[in-house]
Amino acid sequence: MLHTFIALVDNKPGVLTRIASLFRRLNINIASLTVGETERDDLSRMTIVCEAPENAAHRIRASLYKLEIVRDVDEVTRGEAVIRELALIKVAAGPPASSMSSRTHLFELANVFRARVVDLAPESLMLEMTGSASKIEGLLQVLAESHYKILEVSRTGRMAMRRGKHTSRVLKALGSKDHGDAEFPPLAADEALPNQFAEHDA
């Protein structure tokens, strides 16, 4: 299954390699990984989506925490978090004279999918779309089924943020800038005993 982890990591050179190297060592394929700045300039935020057995999550999380540069790791599911992706899609579409109808149709399609046309060139146009991965895949599928020629696709990979008032444990704990004497609160008491071998309905 796909797991989505949100990791807060030190904003330092080499951090990405350490994370990527860990997944390589565990022989887990990363489906997507986004990194960017956060509300604190000493921390970066990563959303890591990977394909791994359901029960592997505990070990991945525990292993991530063993990296010195990792401050907090959260695993989120679709229900608990807003998960978004951005895609740029370049579609072949000639000038109005030659294929008037196809361009108009593309604008309509974009409208329905809440995508935006962000560039118009003589032979192509570029769509920008933000949404869940499945929405983006929906647009791509409709384009393909309508026999549009997709020239290029660039997707950011997923970004996730928990819904509601959840502030990450670590930011709450760090408080001060020099994450000096911050105490790490223990895991929530209701968090089940980690069990990699749990029976689960697949």
Partner 1 sequence: MPKATKTNPNNAPTLTGAEILWATLVGEGVSTVFGYPGGAILPAYDALRKFPIHHVLVRHEQGAAHMADGYARASGKTGVCVATSGPGATNLVTGLATAMIDSIPVVAITGQVSSKVLGSDAFQEIDITGITLPITKHNFVATRAEDIAPMIREAFQIAQSGRPGPVLVDITKDAQQGSCVYDFEAVAPAPYRPHPMLRAETPEMVKAIELMRASTRPVILAGHGIIQSGAEREVIAFAERHNIPIATTLLGLGGIPASHPLSLGMMGMHGESWVNNAIQQSDLLLAFGMRFDDRVTGNLATYAPNAKKIHVEIDPSEINKNVKVDVALIGDLKEVLTTIAKILDERGEPRGVDVTKQWRDEIRAMKGDASVRDIINLPDNGHLYAAHVINDIWQEAKAAGRLDSTIIATDVGQHQMWEAQYFKHEATRTLITSGGLGTMGFALPAAIGAKIACPEKDVWVIAGDGGFQMTAAELSTIVQEGIHINIAVINNGFLGMVRQWQEAFYDKNYACSPILSPDFVILAGAHGIPGANVTKRAEVLPTVTKARTADTAFLINFAVEKEDGVYPMIAPGAALHEMVRRPNPLIETAED
107 binds partner 1 (CB under 8 A): no
Give the number of other Cβ atoms within 10 Å of residue 179's Cβ: 16
Q: How far apart are CA 64 and CA 26, in angstroms?
A: 11
* Stretch of 41-49, 97-105, 126-134, 179-187 contacting partner 1, by CB under 8 A: 179-187
Report if residue 21 touches partner 1, rule: CB under 8 A. Answer: yes
Interface with partner 1, residue 194, by CB under 8 A: yes
Amino acid at 108: E
If one asks whether residue 66 binds partner 1 (CB under 8 A), the answer comes out as yes
The yes or no reply on residue 40 touching partner 1 (CB under 8 A) is no
Nearer to partner 1, 12 or 114 (CB): 12
**Binding segment (CB under 8 A) for partner 1, from list 64-72, 101-109, 115-123, 129-137:** 64-72
Apex 15 CA angle, 134 and 31, nearest 5: 20
Closest by CA to 61, choosing from 196, 197, 198, is 196
CA atoms of 126 and 130, how far apart (whole Å): 13
Using CB under 8 A as the binding rule, whether residue 77 contacts partner 1 is answered as no
Identity of the residue, 24 or 114, whose beta carbon is nearer to partner 1 in the bound complex: 24
Query: Contact between 97 and partner 1 (CB under 8 A)?
Result: no
- Does 186 engage in binding with partner 1 (CB under 8 A)? yes
Taking CB under 8 A as the binding criterion, the range among 33-41, 56-64, 117-125, 126-134 that sits at the site for partner 1 is 56-64
**Contact assessment for residue 55 and residue 198, using Cβ atoms and an 8 Å cutoff:** yes
For partner 1, which stretch binds (CB under 8 A), given 45-53, 57-65, 96-104, 125-133? 57-65
Is residue 162 a contact residue for partner 1 (CB under 8 A)? no
Amino acid identity, position 118: V
Structure tokens given for 34: 């986004």
Cα 147 to Cα 119: distance, rounded to the nearest angstrom? 20
Give the N- to C-terminal CA distance of the chain in Å, as an integer: 9
178 binds partner 1 (CB under 8 A): yes
Which residues is 72 bridged to in the sheet?
A: 8
Task: Find the angle CA(12)-CA(17)-CA(21) to the nearest 5 degrees.
Answer: 145
Residues of the shown chain interacting with partner 1 in the complex, contacts defined by CB under 8 A: 14, 17-18, 21, 25, 58-59, 61-63, 65-68, 72, 169, 178-182, 184, 186-187, 189, 193-197
